Chain A
Amino acid sequence: MKQEKHYIQRVLRGDVHAFSYLVDMHKSMVYTLALRMLKNPENAEELAQDVFVKAFQSMEKFKFESKFSTWLYRITYNAAISILRKKHVEMADIDDVQLPENNVVDTFNAITELKNYEQRTYVKQALEQLKDEDALIITLFYLDENSVEEISVITGFTVANVKVKLHRARKRFYDALKLILKDEVKMIL
C-alpha cells in the first residue's frame, strides 16, 4: 500500500512510466469486474484499458480519501454501466429471487464434493450467468474482499442497499450454481 502511494505520487509529479506499476497491480481485478459486467472478453479488455487511461487523465482528482483500488473500481463501474445503458441492456429488478437459505447450504455442500478444477469451472459459469450488478457486487465482496462501505462508494448505493443487493446476489449465485450442478446435486442429495 505504501509502495502504491509512492507510485501514485510519482505519477502526480509527472512520471508517466510509474503508472505502469499501478496498471500491473490492478489490471486483473479491473478486467475481472469489466468481464463480470459486460460478459464479453474483448469488450472487457477494451473497457479495462479505457478505465486506466481515464484514471491517468483524472489522477489529480484522486485525493487519497479512499483506497486507490476503490477509486479505480468506481471508474470501472461507471464506465461499464454507461456501456450497458447504451446497449439498452435491461437492468432488471432482482426482487423476484426467493431461494431458501437451505438451498444455499445444499448447493455449497454439493459443489465442495467436486474436484477443484470442476469447482472453478462451475463457479465461473455461475458468475457469468449472474446479472451485471449481482456479479459485480459478489466479485467485489467475496473475491476482492471489499467492505460493504467500499462497495457503497464504488457503486453509489447506500450501505443498506448494498447489504440487501449482496444478500440477493448471493442467493442468485447459488441459484445459478444449482442449475448448473443440477445433475451432480441430484446425485449427491
Chain B
Amino acid sequence: MSKKELNIDKSTRQLIQKSGKEEPSADFTKNVMAQIIKDPEVQFNFSFTKDEKESKIWLLLSVGAIFVGYIFFFLFRNDFNLAKSFEHSLSAKYLKILVDFIEQIYYELSLSPYVLIGLAGVIVLILIDKSVVKFLHSL
C-alpha cells in the first residue's frame, strides 16, 4: 500500500468510527435469552453437564477430608493420647494395629447415628439436585 493509501485508510477509519456502533433495543439481551430458554429446539440441545475433572477433584478431596476427620475423631475420643488410642492394637502388635483400626472404623460406622444422618443428607442433596435440574428443564 502506498503512503497516500495508508493515510486515506487512517482518515476513513477516524471518520467511520465517529459514527459509532448502532445499539439495539434495551430488551435485546432479555429477548434473546427468553428465546433461547423457551425454544424447544434449543432445550433439546441444552443439557446440564458436569465437569468431570472438577468432580473427580472434589471426590478425592472429600474422601481425604473424611479420612482425616475420622483420624481426628478417633484421637479426640481418646483425649489425643496415641498410646491410649492404640492400646489394644499395640498389645497385639504390628498387623493387629491395622486390623483393630479397621474394626474400629467398622464399629464406628455401624453404630454411629452421624453416619446415618450423613447418608440421609447425601440422599436429600441428590433429590434437591434432581429437582433443580428438572425445574430448569421445565422453564
Contacts and interface: CB of A to CB of B under 8 A. Distances in A.
Do the two chains bind?
Answer: yes
Interface of A: 13-14, 16-17, 19-20, 23-24, 27-29, 31-32, 35, 44-45, 48-49, 52-53, 56-57, 101, 104-105, 108, 111-112, 116, 119-120, 123-124, 127, 138-139, 142-143, 145, 170, 173
A23 B32 contact: yes
A128 B11 CA distance: 19
A31 B15 contact: no
Contacts of A53: 32, 35-36, 39, 42
Contacts of A104: 8
B16 A13 contact: no
Interface of B: 4, 8, 11-13, 15-25, 28-29, 31-33, 35-37, 39, 41-42, 45-49, 51
Contacts of B8: 101, 104-105, 108, 170
Given A45-B28, A170-B8, 8 more contacts: A14-B46, A27-B24, A28-B22, A31-B21, A48-B28, A57-B41, A101-B8, A108-B12
A24 B29 contact: yes
Most buried by A among B19, B21, B22: B22
Main secondary structure of the interface of A (DSSP, over half): helix
A139 B23 CA distance: 14
Contact of B33 (A19, A32, A119): A19
A145 B47 CA distance: 36
5 tightest Cβ-Cβ pairs between the two chains A and B: A142-B16, A31-B24, A28-B21, A123-B19, A32-B22
Most buried by A among B16, B18, B29, B42: B16
Contacts of B45: 57
A167 to B, nearest CB: 9
Given A28-B22, A57-B45, A16 B15 contact: no
Given A16-B46, A101-B4, A111 B15 contact: yes
Contact of A127 (B19, B35, B39, B51): B19
Contacts of B46: 14, 16
Contact of B49 (A14, A108, A138, A145): A14
A27 B29 contact: yes
A142 B12 contact: yes
Contact of A31 (B4, B20, B23): B23
Contacts of B35: 49, 53
A43 B28 CA distance: 13
